[in-house]
Amino acid sequence: MHAAVVVFPGSNCDRDLAVAFKSAGAKVSMVWHKDSELPQGVDIVGIPGGFSYGDYLRCGAIAANSPICRSVAAHANRGGYVLGICNGLQVLTETGLLPGALLRNAGLKYICKTVGLKVETTASDYTSGYDAGQVINIPIAHHDGNYFADDETIAKLRGEDRVAFSYAENPNGARDDIAGILSENRRVLGMMPHPERAAEAAHGNIDGAALFRALTGALQTA
Amino acid sequence: MKARVHVMLKNGVLDPQGEAVRHALGALGFDGVNGVRQGKVIELDLAEGTTEADVTAMCEKLLANTVIESYSVELA
């Protein structure tokens, strides 16, 4: 599996994400935001956490219009995989690859802590390594993680089994406790929590490792 | 020419910052503030001949996220 991790000015989880992909057996290329093409043969693009472009205008808004994001959208539209974490989810909603938007946390505070996440579906190459309904512990670190979409979109996401993860205890006011969602073809996952920060023993928590292992497994046998 | 774009969270989208401002006003003794909504104003300095339709396109593509925000354009 060949993973490309996009680096924007202000990304700060790009190396963590690269390490998580590598530990799961992937080859990793780092891609700068001004590059207009992804490397040849990329299976999955990782959009990391951080504060791309200083969160100017809106979180993810400027990044979504950067040269590399046009290639990322083309990759997704060809059926390629994209994993967006935290700011990565904000970027994916801004590009329109995933529905909805992220609002300021309902409590107005930046929240950095480990939370319980319920695995809502195992029917994706990201979540197949978990059990349905299993609660895993994954850190969150965000100020704008309050997922919003209209009633129709929420009903569609639920109806199509596209909610990947929900919060066991809602920390940020997200509608329907939503923490992570899948695209229609289930190959684009965006999530606020950080599985790459819970992916090896030294992190003190390896609940996120199964996501990267499942992905590598699926893409190597594909 | 100049344009001024007002971007507001849509009605029905909770505005926690506006709520916090409302509470703070109450704490200062300003009674009767029933609601506060906070938005942003973006001023554009534009080449002559730029049309309102151009500014609307800017709003749709970048300046506002129409999933959660509404906008209005004022040309000066």
Could you please report the per-residue DSSP string of B21-49?
HHHHHHHTT-TT------EEEEEEE--TT
Look at residue B12 in the predicted model and tell me its pLDDT: 86
> Measured between CB atoms, which of B13, B20, B63 is closest to A103?
B13
DSSP state of A50: B
CB contact under 8 A, A105 and B16: yes
10 Å Cβ neighbour count for A96? Answer: 10
Examine the pLDDT at A69 and tell me if it is beyond 70.
yes
CB contact under 8 A, B63 and A57: yes
Q: Report the C-alpha gap between A173 and A178 in whole angstroms.
A: 9
What is the arithmetic mean of pLDDT over A128-134?
Answer: 97
pLDDT digits (tens, 9 = 90+) for A36-47: 999 999 999 999
pLDDT digits (tens, 9 = 90+) for A139-175: 999 999 999 999 999 999 999 999 999 999 999 999 9
Please tell me the class of the A2-221 domain: alpha beta
Which residues does chain B have within 8 Å of residue A57's beta carbon, measured at their own beta carbons?
62-63
Share of chain A above pLDDT 90, in %: 99
Q: CB–CB of A187/A200 below 8 Å?
A: no
What is the arithmetic mean of pLDDT over A81-95?
Answer: 98
Distance from the B59 Cα atom to the nearest Cα atom in chain A, whole angstroms: 12
Look at residue B21 in the predicted model and tell me its pLDDT: 94
Q: Which residue of B has its CA nearest to A66?
A: B62
pTM here is: 0.94
What domains can be seen in chain B, in order of their start residue?
2-75 (3.30.1280.10)
> Measured between CB atoms, which of A100, A108, A173 is closest to B20?
A108
Examine the pLDDT at A221 and tell me if it is beyond 80.
no
Query: What is the ipTM score, two decimals?
Result: 0.86
pLDDT digits (tens, 9 = 90+) for B11-63: 989 898 899 999 999 999 999 999 999 999 999 999 999 999 999 999 999 99
Taken as a whole, chain A contains a residue count of: 222
- Among A81, A107, A74, A78, smallest CA distance to A4 is for A81
10 Å Cβ neighbour count for A110? Answer: 12
Q: Report the C-alpha gap between B56 and B61 in whole angstroms.
A: 9
Structure tokens at B42: 């973006």
Look at residue A222 in the predicted model and tell me its pLDDT: 52
| Any B CB within 8 A of A106 CB | yes
Query: Judged by CB atoms within 8 Å, which residues 176-215 of A form the interface with B?
Result: none
Structure tokens at A6: 């996009």
Question: Which phi and psi angles does B7 have, rounded to 5°?
Answer: -120, 125
What is the arithmetic mean of pLDDT over A5-32?
Answer: 97
Examine the pLDDT at A210 and tell me if it is beyond 80.
yes
Look at residue B76 in the predicted model and tell me its pLDDT: 81
> Measured between CB atoms, which of A65, A101, A107 is closest to B68?
A101
Question: Residue ranges per domain, chain A?
Answer: 2-221
Cβ contacts of A180 within 8 Å, gap of 6 or more: A89, A117, A163, A164, A165, A189, A190, A191, A192, A193
Cβ contacts of B64 within 8 Å, gap of 6 or more: B5, B7, B70, B71
Taken as a whole, chain B contains a residue count of: 76
- Among B75, B63, B76, smallest CA distance to B8 is for B63
Give the active site residues of A: 86, 194, 196
